[in-house]
């Protein structure tokens, strides 16, 4: 398996390094803030949860969760499996309602309003097998009433930045796992939501592809900040992408600790992982996770 | 999950094999041809050498010769009439089945109310209902179309409903976050996802349609392959009956193949991972 899965991943690398020099250029055309991406410039509340609890029958999935995610900042949630991380995301998203507590997403409190503000990306890519890359990516635009051809054209401009140039008309089964996930991510972003909720987005990928995409997502979010919540069981991933990391306990899921991540923004993934503060935080979170399970 | 990663390699491997597709097709048809030839040989042997009277088991060559000799007189027009009933009835049953299936899928109330009725409709003995229809509508094409539809629509409905309901629930949740309302989800996700199942239902229905047409003709008709059989059996013209049966069989096979070809054209993605 390792041999076969290595091939598409290796293909992915040059595509991405092509995309990196292109990214600032793309940032130049739209007034993106590549310059001040060091700190999330915007202030104000993006997402606020207070006293949120959700139970399914006798099972308490999460309870007493208070969380705050400032506008345009990135929060990563780590925890043992079954701790209610995914439940929490579904609640924020508006796919589900809490039994107790309130959820506020940019002023929206009802589930229908929250759905309108949140984009959600699950672990599996869930692409439509009968639509090509452009068709899959344009799905949200078509749902919003944009005509098919216009939607495809609009998405077509973004394809290169996602390392998918030349694959516009390929069907999902013709793509590698990493590329499918990038199409899924593109589809999520194209919906144009202010809030991005990622539920173990790279969990189904091999480690090489995953490392690739982590670095790529980090760069993409630096270039175009969005209020992001990432759920993962991979501590490194949490530290790489999150600006804050929250540790949840096993069921019933509660928030055990919060960490601020202060790492140089410019560094590559490998540099960051070698950074002493990164190592220190990783050890601290890992030991906390061991205590929690 | 690693299978999704290996897919591109597979497609690279299969791509250069395209030139050999025709020979592969011949190789795939070979076993079927071999069995047909074997059955034909046994048939000929039994009818010629074992003293079986011709009105019990006519030899293949006598079936062939009566088929040729009565083609322009009776069989040609009978085939045309029956083919028309089969095709129109098949189309009608597709329309009816899809309307019913989508209605059942979109409303739980409708589903609970109508599903038992549908199942009950399948218990109605067509042999009995066909003459009643012939009394009501006379010797027209209408009772035949109704019988064909009655027989054909059920497998299409069941498969379509299953297909519509087969969509991954998480995908439906994704659609909600992508601003997909009920209609958008039905049109862009559920309906395309149901296509392979719909075609499974169509393939079953395709083999039923000629039977339905013959049932309809048996109940009352002035032409058609079923009519030819009614006329031939009392006169012990068994060879003619078999000639009509073979034409019907060929029709069912052709309809089945047509449906399969349509499926390949309409949903090529569904062939991935199927052999």
| CB–CB contact B174 A144 (8 Å) | no
Q: pLDDT category, B16, cuts 50, 70, 90?
A: very low
- d(Cα A79, Cα A262) in Å, to the nearest integer? 21
CB contact under 8 A, B174 and A126: yes
Contact A122 B5 (CB under 8 A): no
Cβ neighbours of residue A2 closer than 8 Å, sequence gap 6 or more: A206
Tell me the average pLDDT across A151-174: 86
C-beta atoms of B179 and A143 within 8 A: yes
Question: What is the distance in angstroms between the Cα of B173 and the nearest Cα belonging to chain A?
Answer: 7
State pLDDT tens for residues B32-78: 889 999 999 998 888 888 878 888 888 888 999 999 999 888 899 99
CB of A123 less than 8 A from some CB of B: no
Query: How close A265 comes to chain B (CA, Å)?
Result: 30
pLDDT band at A293 (very low <50, low <70, confident <90, very high): low
Asked if the Cβ–Cβ distance from B2 to A1 is below 8 Å, we say yes
Q: Which of A112, A174, A213 to mutate to test the interface with B (most CBs of B within 10 A)?
A: A174
Mean residue pLDDT of chain B comes to 86
- pLDDT for A26: 35
- Cβ atoms A275, A263 nearer than 8 A: yes
Cβ separation A7–B9 shorter than 8 A: yes
**What is the distance in angstroms between the Cα of A204 and the nearest Cα belonging to chain B?**
6
Q: Which of residues 175-214 of A touch B (CB under 8 A)?
A: 175-178, 180, 187-188, 191, 193, 204-206, 209
Strand partners, A247: A78, A257
The answer to whether the Cβ–Cβ distance between B168 and A126 falls below 8 Å is yes
A55 phi, psi to nearest 5 deg: -125, 145
Span of A30-39, B61-70, B149-158 with lowest mean pLDDT: A30-39
Measure in Å the smallest separation between the Cα of A277 and chain B Cα atoms. Answer: 34
B179 neighbourhood in chain A, CB within 8 Å: 116, 140, 143-144, 191
Ranked by mean pLDDT, the top range of A246-250, B19-23, B259-263 is B259-263
User: What is the 3-state composition of chain A as percent helix, strand, coil, each rounded to the nearest 5?
Assistant: 45, 20, 35
Question: Residue B183 burial by CB count (10 A; 0-12/13-18/19+): exposed, middle or buried?
Answer: exposed
The mean of the pLDDT values for chain A is 77
Residue A127 clears pLDDT 50, i.e. is over it: yes
pTM (2 d.p.): 0.77
Q: For B267, which of A130, A177, A191 is closest by C-beta distance?
A: A130
**Interchain contact, A128 vs B267, CB within 8 Å:** no
Residues B6 and A174: their CA atoms lie apart, in Å, by 10
Residue A6 has pLDDT above 70, yes or no: no
A180 contacts on B by Cβ (under 8 Å): 4
SS3 category, B221: coil
Size of interface A-B (CB pairs under 8 A): 101
pLDDT > 60? residue A85: yes
Residues from chain A contacting residue B188 (CB–CB below 8 Å): 128, 139, 142-143
CA angle A72, A75, A80 (to 5 degrees): 160
Contacts of B2 in chain A (CB under 8 A): 1, 4-5, 177, 206
């Amino acid at each position: 398996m390792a041999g076969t899965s290595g091939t598409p991943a290796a293909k992915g690398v040059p595509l991405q390094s092509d995309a990196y020099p292109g990214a600032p250029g793309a940032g130049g055309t739209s007034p993106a803030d590549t310059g001040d991406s060091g700190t999330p410039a915007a202030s104000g509340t993006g997402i606020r949860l207070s006293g949120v609890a959700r139970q399914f029958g006798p099972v308490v999935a999460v309870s007493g969760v208070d969380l705050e995610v400032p506008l345009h900042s990135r929060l990563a949630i780590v925890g043992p499996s079954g701790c209610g991380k995914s439940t929490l995301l579904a609640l924020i998203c508006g796919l589900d309602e809490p039994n107790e507590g309130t959820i506020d997403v940019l002023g929206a409190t009802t589930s229908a309003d929250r759905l309108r503000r949140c984009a959600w990306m699950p672990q599996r890519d869930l692409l439509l097998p009968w639509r090509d890359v452009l068709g899959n990516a344009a799905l949200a635009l078509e749902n919003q009433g944009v005509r098919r051809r216009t939607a495809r054209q609009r998405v077509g401009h973004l394809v290169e930045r996602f390392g998918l140039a030349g694959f516009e008309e390929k069907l999902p089964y013709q793509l590698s796992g990493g590329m499918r996930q990038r199409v899924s991510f593109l589809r999520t972003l194209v919906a144009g939501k202010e809030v991005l909720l990622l539920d173990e987005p790279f969990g189904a990928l091999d480690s090489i592809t995953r490392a690739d995409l982590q670095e790529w997502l980090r760069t993409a979010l630096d270039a175009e900040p969005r209020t992001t919540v990432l759920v993962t069981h991979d501590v490194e991933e949490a530290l790489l992408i999150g600006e804050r990391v929250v540790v949840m306990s096993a069921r019933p899921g509660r928030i055990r600790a919060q960490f601020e991540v202060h790492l140089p923004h410019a560094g590559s993934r490998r540099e960051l992982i070698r950074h002493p503060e990164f190592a220190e935080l990783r050890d601290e979170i890992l030991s906390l996770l061991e205590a929690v399970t | 999950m690693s299978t999704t990663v290996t897919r591109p390699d597979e497609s690279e491997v299969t791509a250069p094999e395209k030139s050999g597709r025709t020979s592969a097709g011949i190789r795939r048809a070979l076993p079927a041809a071999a069995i047909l030839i074997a059955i034909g040989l046994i048939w000929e042997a039994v009818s010629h050498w074992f003293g079986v009277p011709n009105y019990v088991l006519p030899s293949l060559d006598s079936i062939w010769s009566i088929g040729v000799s009565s083609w322009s007189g009776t069989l040609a027009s009978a085939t045309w009439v029956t083919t028309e009933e089969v095709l129109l009835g098949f189309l009608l049953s597709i329309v009816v089945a899809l309307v019913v299936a989508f209605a059942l899928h979109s409303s739980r109330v409708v589903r609970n109310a109508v599903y038992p009725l549908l199942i009950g409709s399948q218990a109605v003995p067509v042999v009995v209902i066909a003459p009643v229809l012939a009394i009501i509508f006379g010797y027209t094409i209408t009772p035949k179309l109704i019988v064909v539809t009655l027989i054909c629509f059920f497998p299409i409905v069941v498969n379509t409903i299953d297909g519509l309901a087969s969509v991954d629930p998480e995908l439906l949740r994704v659609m909600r976050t992508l601003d997909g309302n009920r209609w958008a989800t039905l049109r862009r996700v559920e309906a395309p996802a149901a296509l392979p199942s719909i075609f499974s239902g169509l393939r079953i229905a395709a083999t039923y349609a000629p039977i339905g047409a013959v049932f309809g003709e048996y109940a009352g008709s002035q032409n058609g392959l079923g009519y030819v059989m009614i006329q031939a059996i009392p006169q012990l013209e068994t060879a003619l009956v078999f000639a009509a049966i073979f034409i019907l069989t060929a029709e069912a096979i052709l309809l089945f193949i047509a449906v399969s070809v349509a499926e390949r054209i309409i949903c090529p993605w569904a062939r991935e991972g199927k052999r």
